[in-house]
Structure 1
Amino acid sequence: MIIGSIITLLFIIAIIGIASFHTSVKKEKTLLFHPNKEVNKKITPEDLDDLPDLMKNYLSKVNIVGKPKYCNAVFTQKGEIITGSKKKWLPFSATQYMSSNNFGFIWKAKALPMLIRDKYTNGKGEVKVSLLGLKNVVLFSGQKVDQSSLGRYLGELIWFPIGFLNPDISWKTIDYRTIKATIINDNHTLEGFFIFNQNGMIDRFKTKRYRDTELEDFIGEAGEYQDYNGLLIPNTMTAIWDLKNGKQKYFKATILNYKLM
């Protein structure tokens, strides 16, 4: 009976911890999704006029014209993540939140017994890894995390192409398949390159992000494009460190469902 009581108590504590973790993320999501623009405004062809031809054609192909200009996206994922070359791939399930109402994203993942929350909001990045919501085993913040999280946000706009209309992003055509994006937010500046395939769709994204304390080349590879509620986005994405001793994949995610709100 004593052992059973201890197990029950631990189970209840874990449930409370997990609930607290999700409640905290829900509050962050509410702030990210808070409308501060014209909620009924639709995207028109004229909204694409000042973009490079590669991006203009791409955004037309993925069907953002006619979609709400200020909206939110919620999508779920399954995938695997690895934290080092000698570590094992860990499966995860996740929910990601992105918004054109406010600048940023929130990524909430479960790789039991760990709960993970990665975000970029209000000009700040933060990575939190929690043991069942009871104790933070990792909590990263600071200027390097801000820069790295901003790089993730820019690259993952492939999953939320409405965000490419963000006025904080400026564009420059490099060649017939490459454009450079420069994003400035809250005194942070980051450059990234979008490379398009022969069909005019974004094939991959390149930038520099911090890997631990070192600034490294980062690549995000897009998978096949699928229709999710009228929006064409890649069904998968793979994150790769392009290191001096070779490329190292560390994140693979597949979209399960997608909702534009």
Structure 2
Amino acid sequence: MKKDVAILFHNENEAKTGTIKEEDLEELPDPVKRYLKFTQIVSSERIQSVRLKMKGQFRLKPDQRWFPLMAEEYYTTNPPSLVWFGRIFPFPMFSVTAWDRYFSGKGRMRIKLMSLFSIVDAKGKDMNQAALVRYLNEMVWFPSAYLGENIRWEAIDSSSARIFISDKGLAASAVCFFNEKGEMVDFVAYRLNSESGKNEEWHTPIYEYGEFNGIKVPVKGEALYRRSSGDFSYIRIEITNIEYNVNSTY
């Protein structure tokens, strides 16, 4: 994991810097404008890199019980990159380790038993696309990235807007939903489900916001696939720490 994070920070380019101004939001759809004002990014510095910690629960299949999860994650905004490292504890004294990463248009997911025995190593075209959608989704934790040159917004109505991202020849989009307070409350896209091997409707409902470094971000939520047979929720998370522009591991 530390090697991947070192590569992530080594590849970081100089991004647009400076303080975000009210006029930076002028051309955005109204619900997006309300949301970014709610996050308090106006008058804050643009975010170049991120590190965060989370805890929660995870499962691989709808009929599985929930397992405890501890994880940390790292991002850069130019280029858009991420490294996620998690430990899942299905039994006492027994752990499953998982890595997700997205670098230079390439996604990869690895899972090992006790950090030793590889049981999943997924990469290729579908993983590249899934990883870019994931990055787009997780920009809620560093919302100044929504003003990036690789991002485009399209108005839908008073409570939703479509977002587009491009990177290294890839493109992804999603629909973001907002409430009257300005909070983003859901993100909907089509994304690869590794359990079924198919692209499925993917939601990440947000249940609670908190504040880190003066920025309001989601601190509780989950991710689920919407199916005709019923929703499959596979991860529930709580953010415990976020730091910006710190280019090192915890």
Q: Does residue 215 of structure 1 match 2:199? A: yes
Letter in structure 2 aligned against 1:149: A
1:226 counterpart (210, 217, 221)? 210
Compare the two structures and name the one with the higher helix fraction. Answer: 1
Please tell me whether the aligned partners of residues 101 and 108 of structure 2 are also in contact (alpha carbons under 8 angstroms): yes
Q: Which stretches in structure 1 are left out of the alignment for 5+ residues?
A: 1-24
Whole-Å separation in 1 of the counterparts to 2:216 and 2:136: 17
1:109 counterpart (67, 86, 102)? 86
Q: Does residue 29 of structure 1 match 2:29? A: no
In structure 2, what is the equivalent of residue 138 of structure 1?
A: 120
- Offset, 1:38: 5.3
1:178 counterpart (138, 155, 160)? 160
Which has the larger displacement, 34-43 or 113-122?
Answer: 34-43
Whole-Å separation in 1 of the counterparts to 2:22 and 2:7: 30
In structure 1, what is the equivalent of residue 248 of structure 2?
A: none
Compare the two structures and name the one with the higher strand fraction. Answer: 2
Whole-Å separation in 2 of the counterparts to 1:72 and 1:97: 8
Whole-Å separation in 2 of the counterparts to 1:90 and 1:37: 39
Q: Does residue 238 of structure 1 match 2:238? A: no
- Offset, 1:26: 1.8
Larger CA Rg, structure 1 vs 2 = 1
Moved segments of 4+, more than 6 Å: none
* SS state at 1:36 partner: coil
Q: Does residue 169 of structure 1 match 2:145? A: no
* TM-score, length basis structure 1: 0.85
Q: Does residue 85 of structure 1 match 2:47? A: no
Please tell me whether the aligned partners of residues 15 and 78 of structure 2 are also in contact (alpha carbons under 8 angstroms): no
Letter in structure 2 aligned against 1:242: R
When residues 160 and 130 of structure 1 are mapped into structure 2, their CA distance, relative to the original with a 3 A threshold, is same
Could you report, residue by residue, the CA deviation over 1:9-48 in whole angstroms, capped at 9, with x for unpaired residues?
Answer: xxxxxxxxxxxxxxxx222223323442158523222332
- Offset, 1:101: 3.3
Sequence identity (%): 28
- Offset, 1:73: 1.4
Q: Does residue 155 of structure 1 match 2:131? A: no
2:101 counterpart (110, 119, 142)? 119
Please tell me whether the aligned partners of residues 32 and 101 of structure 1 are also in contact (alpha carbons under 8 angstroms): no
* SS state at 2:23 partner: helix
- Offset, 1:146: 1.1
Letter in structure 1 aligned against 2:242: Y
Q: CA RMSD in A?
A: 1.7
Which has the larger displacement, 233-242 or 131-140?
Answer: 131-140
Please tell me whether the aligned partners of residues 20 and 41 of structure 2 are also in contact (alpha carbons under 8 angstroms): yes
